[in-house]
Chain A
């Protein structure tokens, strides 16, 4: 993490890792060409990218040591905030998406109220329970949220004009795909920056040894809250993008276990002590699920996610990307994600 470092032994796996990353990026950039105009492939990867973004956002919190099982709360609130604002007031989604991020951060303050003093397993349980609050509220507050009917006919993402260039974004699969890809790369850059900054050092120190961190002058609770807020902010924005990309949301869907479980699965399988691991896992596993398991097993194809997380925790707790970069990160014993 500290600058001027590319020296010495543990870097010997890096070239391979770099090659994988560059190849992956090249494939992603060229995908609309590679897919030969197949909309379905593009849609699957657009969704995979959104999930990758969610996993990256989730990992900001996990870097500080807190495993959340309730990120659907932020995702859902983001989706609903942006969806409702754009439907009711006709404001452009470009304005409502950032607001959705803030709404999710406000919800995170609510989580903080309950979870401030919780660590580890108890933090995880509390977040799992917390999702029920926005879900049941959304479900029942019909006059505001239209209840369990959900929001239908959400506006898509309007095109953007930058000087002579025009990006159609919501209007075509390619536009949507590139938009989410750019968002993902921006978030990846942000997360990298956070992790390589002193903020990242503080978060990791808190994860490793909270007491020692405090004794070195780190404002433990302040940083834990900051990590939670950032994580919620980006998750909320992701939820909002999702809403405008699929045009339809309902409480059971956006607050469902799916969106809470997905980032946990991807981050742990990819390697939650790494920066890109969670995103890579999403880009591998979701298409695998959609292209291979879904056709084979229309009902129950998501067993894949259950299986990979069980296998990861039992045999590869540093995640596959963490494993590939062994030496960069500690060789964690199997049977433990801590």
Chain B
């Protein structure tokens, strides 16, 4: 049984890392806490659901549309966030809180409050390997998540733009002095974030019911993993995602599925209590 828990923990955790990655990247580069992150994921999920339902497009083929839709939305949001002043973290929280409400109501209008799921029967079939068994769904989730994480890693570490992004995350002032266009990096971060959200959304819609207020949980997950990891390190993000995924799987097995939502909240509260100055660690002198 514990291998099952482990497998589902790691699968879920990898997906959670994907959910958090866009959030962490945007936060790292622009210091924006985008509380509408989960709503964006749900939105991308709805786009995929709509394509799948009305045109019978297969799940994988919905990705481009979901990505495109989130990209447009994220670039609009970026314009709004860029008008905020310091303290960026607090102001962006309040602004994005409002944006989240806007998005929720927009989705309620277009997709109604009903629970929707992108049902792909194949995903429920099981693959049997020596010593463990997992579903196609888990397998797909794991593969896509890890693949995207790996690609992002390569992008950040082995391309010029990625290095510029990382330099901006480390220290905006020095990056600006080194001739990096910090504003441009902010837009780029939102764009890459949008792609990641566009990838996470359809996956979300295939494993979890979509409804307009489903985003809060995803936001909490993203915040938790980001606070766990600090900014900049994909490896630590994955570790955080796995710990959270594993903790949730254990909770579901030991206490029941209805306790799952408590896990990320408690983990976030504990992390914050231990790290009161937050990620940037800007302890006042």
Contacts and interface: CB of A to CB of B under 8 A. Distances in A.
Q: Does a CB–CB distance below 8 Å link A and B in the complex?
A: yes
Chain B residues touching A, majority SS: helix
Interface in B208-233: 213, 216, 220, 223-224, 227
Given A119-B276, A132-B262, 19 more contacts: A67-B93, A69-B97, A115-B272, A120-B90, A124-B90, A125-B272, A129-B223, A129-B269, A136-B258, A136-B262, A140-B258, A306-B98, A306-B100, A307-B102, A310-B95, A314-B95, A333-B85, A336-B84, A338-B86
A310 B113 CA distance: 23
Interface string A124-144: 111011111100100110000
A234 B234 CA distance: 44
Interface string A101-134: 0000000000001111111111011101111110
Interface string B173-204: 00000000000000000000000000000000
B91 A336 contact: yes
Interface stretch (B63-71, B104-112, B131-139, B141-149): B104-112
Given A118-B276, A136-B259, A336 B86 contact: yes
Interface of B: 33, 35, 80, 83-87, 89-95, 97-109, 112-113, 213, 216, 220, 223-224, 227, 256, 258-259, 261-262, 264-266, 268-270, 272-273, 276-278, 284
Going nearest first, the 3 A-B pairs with the smallest beta carbon separation are A306-B101, A306-B102, A300-B109
Interface stretch (A41-49, A81-89, A261-269): A261-269
Contacts of A297: 109
Interface of A: 67, 69, 113-122, 124-126, 128-133, 136, 139-140, 211, 256-257, 261, 264-265, 268, 297, 299-303, 305-310, 313-314, 333-338
A122 B276 contact: yes
A214 to B, nearest CB: 12
B98 A309 contact: yes
Contacts of B276: 117-119, 122
Contacts of B86: 336, 338
Contact of B91 (A132, A261, A313): A313
A313 B112 CA distance: 28
A121 B99 contact: no
